[in-house]
Amino acid sequence: MSYDFDLVVIGSGPAGQKAAVQGAKAGKKVAIVERDKVLGGACVHRGTIPSKTLRENALRVKNMRANAALANFQLAEDTEMVTLINRLDQVLLAHDQYMRKQIDRNNITRIHGRAKFIDSHTLEIARVRDADYCIKAQNIIIATGSFPRKPDNIAVDHEYIFDSDSVLSMLYLPRSLTVLGGGVIASEYASIFQALGVKVTMIDKYPRPLGFLDQDLTDKFVHAFESMGGTWLGEHNVVSAEFDGLAGVITRCDNGLEIKSEKLLCAAGRIANVKDLAIENAGLSLSDRGLIPVDNNLRTSVANIFAAGDVIGPPSLASTSMEQGRRATCNAIGIIMGRIASTIPSGIYAIPELSAVGLTEQQARDKHGEVIVGKANFEEIARGQISDIQDGMLKLICAPDGKELLGVSIVGEGATELIHIGQMALLSQSPVDIFVESIFNFPTLAEAYRVAALSVIGQREQRGKG
Ligand SMILES: Cc1cc2nc3c(=O)[nH]c(=O)nc-3n(C[C@H](O)[C@H](O)[C@H](O)COP(=O)(O)OP(=O)(O)OC[C@H]3O[C@@H](n4cnc5c(N)ncnc54)[C@H](O)[C@@H]3O)c2cc1C
């Protein structure tokens, strides 16, 4: 069979983009198909970058309020959302241009259209203005991402009731917002809007948000959120949420509680996007969880088709999607790769930030028994005091020998950057003592590693004596 391309990648998000560039760098004839006019996927246009741009301004607003003695600052009542994401257009334009240049520089063919499988090597490309046509590829990588899950009982209308793809299309900052969900996106947006002065109520069926993190961390998050004026309602089952016909939304729980708010954000998870792909024509089917199943090499059940990014499920992060995309291509074209790192950090850009790598304290206890945990509160670190960082903490989780590092968990501003120090120690299998032997800049938050390590070593010595 003759092919138009060695490799065709469907989707230009973090997974697709890195997959295509890797293929081109290896000398292959590559095409990338994107249905949107712009490149970059949910990450650039609806998810990671827009939410982090809003967060940047929310932090500024929060800090201005905190320094009320220096500046008598009040956010206008009718603040337009566009003013809060004023830098977004510049950021997106810069990103789009950078990606376009990178794709073109690597001689990757850009195809604007919607891809659909005809068979395992053939894709039909539907275009807006021009006629549809088919392309044949030796290998295909599906990197079509995800979209927000819509529960049946929530009437998402994108005017009063939003999902995470539409929330930033709100025209004005609302006075009150109900956030359904306790996951990453819910926690990020709930705390960002609360920092902007919106009265936020966060509701979830679980007792605490971000249940995959150490409770120490989530307790601090909830404390910080409530200190800003937010309300966390755990163990509440929402039975319906609808526009009240006047100017707001009524959310009803099965215990009879009713919450009225101006707007609502439904952040009830995301599901794989295989709409319009007709994967059955290629001999593929979805798993019970609605994802594209892949093996350790990111290969689907059809030998020449690979999948990467959100479409294969958790951890559903831009950072991992990029690496999966790169690896999917390497595996498809026969470049031998080792196993993907198991130490993937999670970064939650709530206010305050949270981040973890390796095992949580509970996971470490379940696996290793009496582990040793060293903690450092940011309030006790000079930099934390100078920057008035409250609700900050770094935890080192070590094996019962008090030497081997098993995990690091951090809450507090800077957590998503600080985590990489711990990640490097884990990857290089350095003993916890490395944090005491290293000289850290002073005053920095990184010094918390040293303080927590000293605590571990102290406990280790006590154990040795016992
Ligand atoms: C609000 C929010 C905040 C987030 N924050 C973070 C964060 O801080 N850090 C982080 O690491 N991750 C974050 N994420 C997750 C991150 O955005 C995703 O993990 C990442 O975008 C997944 O990349 P992807 O390439 O798999 O898919 P996407 O980025 O979703 O890209 C898929 C692309 O495929 C295209 N496509 C789909 N179907 C077709 C078709 N049939 N034909 C052609 N093109 C098609 C789509 O148009 C899209 O451009 C966030 C997500 C959201 C929603």
What is the per-residue pLDDT for 466? 67
Terminal alpha carbon distance of the chain: 72
Report whether residue 276 contacts ligand 1, using a CB cutoff of 6 Å: yes
CA-based R_g, the chain, Å? 24
Residue 253 lies in a domain: yes
Residue ranges making up the domain that contains 45: 5-148+271-333
DSSP per-residue string spanning 260-306: EESEEEE---EEE--TTT-GGGGT----TTSS----TTSB-SSTTEE
C-beta of 43 in contact with ligand 1 (< 6 A) = yes
Same domain flag for 307 and 244: no
Give the atom of ligand 1 at the shortest distance from the alpha carbon of 164: 1
Residue 16 CB–ligand 1 contact under 6 Å: yes
The pair of three-digit structure tokens given for residue 430, joined into one six-digit string? 């350095």
Give bridge partners of residue 157 from the DSSP assignment: none
C-alpha distances in Å from residue 207, one per residue of 70, 174, 204, 237? 39, 27, 8, 11
Tokens in use for 69? 């003695």
| Residue 247 exposed, middle or buried by CB count within 10 Å (0-12, 13-18, 19+) | exposed
283 in the same domain as 142: yes
User: Which tokens hold the place of 336?
Assistant: 């031998």
Mutation test residue for ligand 1: of 85, 88, 144, 348, the one with most atoms within 8 Å of CB: 144
- Of ligand 1's atoms, which has the minimum distance to the CA of residue 36? 47
The answer to whether residue 112 sits within a structural domain is yes
Could you tell me if the CB of 51 is within 6 A of ligand 1?
Answer: yes
Quickly list DSSP for 4-57: SEEEEEE--SHHHHHHHHHHHHTT--EEEEESSSSSSHHHHHTSHHHHHHHHHH
User: What is the pLDDT at residue 45?
Assistant: 84
Domains contained in the chain, number? 3
* Rounded Cα distance, 133 and 75, in Å: 52
Q: Which of 48, 294, 327 most suits a substitution to test ligand 1, by most atoms within 8 Å of the C-beta?
A: 48
Residues 261, 283 share a domain: no
Q: Which helix (H) or strand (E) holds 118?
A: strand 114-119
30 lines ligand 1 (CB under 6 A): no
Distance, in Å, from the CA atom of 8 to the CA atom of 125, rounded to the nearest integer, reads 12
Do residues 375 and 450 touch, judged by C-beta distance below 8 A? no
Report the SS3 class of residue 311: helix
| CA–CA distance, 235 with 94 (Å, rounded to integer) | 43
Binding residues: 52, 144-146, 181-188, 269, 310
Please check whether residues 425 and 449 belong to one and the same domain: yes
pTM: 0.93
CA 41 to ligand 1: nearest atom: 49
Class of residue 444 by CB neighbours under 10 A (exposed 0-12, middle 13-18, buried 19+): middle
Residues 15 and 142 in one domain: yes
pLDDT (tens, 9 = 90+) of the chain, 466 residues, equals 899 999 999 999 999 999 999 999 999 999 999 999 889 998 888 888 889 989 998 998 888 877 766 666 667 777 777 777 777 777 788 888 888 999 999 999 999 999 999 999 999 999 988 899 999 999 999 999 999 999 999 999 999 999 999 998 888 899 999 999 999 999 999 999 999 999 999 999 999 999 999 999 999 999 999 999 999 999 999 999 999 988 899 999 999 999 999 999 999 999 999 999 999 999 999 999 999 999 999 999 999 999 999 999 998 999 999 999 999 999 999 998 877 777 889 999 999 999 999 999 999 999 999 999 999 999 999 998 888 887 899 999 999 999 999 999 999 999 999 999 999 999 999 999 999 999 999 999 999 999 999 999 999 999 887 6
Ligand 1 neighbour 48 (Cβ under 6 A): yes
51 C-alpha vs ligand 1 centroid, how far in Å?
A: 13
CB distance 291 to ligand 1 below 6 Å: no
Looking at the DSSP bridge assignments, the partners of residue 271 are 147
Asked if residue 79 is part of any domain, the answer here is yes
Q: What spacing in Å lies between the alpha carbon of 184 and ligand 1's midpoint?
A: 15
For ligand 1, say whether the CB of 310 is within 6 Å of any of its atoms. Answer: yes
Q: Whose CA is nearest to atom 4 of ligand 1?
A: 48
20 and 124 belong to one structural domain: yes
Q: How far is the CA of 317 from the centre of ligand 1 (A)?
A: 8
* Same-domain status, 357 and 400: yes
**Token representation of residue 157:** 């209308």
Instruction: Pick out the residues of the known binding site for FAD.
Output: 52, 144-146, 310
Nearest to 448 by CA among 396, 387, 397: 396
Tell me if 419 sits within 8 A of 427, measured CB to CB. no
CA 434–ligand 1 middle distance (angstroms): 37
Determine whether 245 is exposed, middle or buried from the number of CB atoms within 10 Å of its CB (0-12, 13-18, 19+).
Answer: exposed
Asked, for residue 153, whether it belongs to a domain, the answer is no
- Of 172, 175, 224, the C-alpha closest to 197 is 175
Whether the CB-CB separation of 181 and 191 falls below 8 Å is answered with no
Do 107 and 30 share a structural domain? Answer: yes
Task: Assess whether 128 and 21 both reside in one domain.
Answer: yes
| Residue 419 belongs to domain with CATH number | 3.30.390.30
β pairing state of 114-119 and 393-398: unpaired
Examine the domain organization and report whether 281 and 238 are in the same domain: no
Cβ-proximal residues to 289 (8 Å cutoff; 6+ apart), any chain? 313
CATH of the domain at 188: 3.50.50.60
What six digits make up the tokens of 313? Answer: 């499920």
Query: Please, are residues 210 and 182 in contact by the beta-carbon 8 Å criterion?
Result: yes
Burial 35-62 (b: 16+ CB within 10 A, else e): beebbbbbbbbbbbbbbebbbebbbebb
Binding site listing for NAD(+): 181-188, 269
Chain centroid, CA 325 distance in Å: 16
SS3 category, 97: helix
∠ CA 317-323-326 to the nearest 5 degrees?
135
Give yes or no: residues 306 and 280 share one domain: yes
Compute the distance between CA of residue 206 and CA of residue 233 in angstroms, rounded to an integer: 9
One domain for residues 31 and 81:
yes
Interior CA angle at 168 toward 163 and 169, to 5°?
90
Of 245, 268, 291, the one marking the end of a domain is: 268
Ligand 1 atom, smallest distance to 167 CA: 1
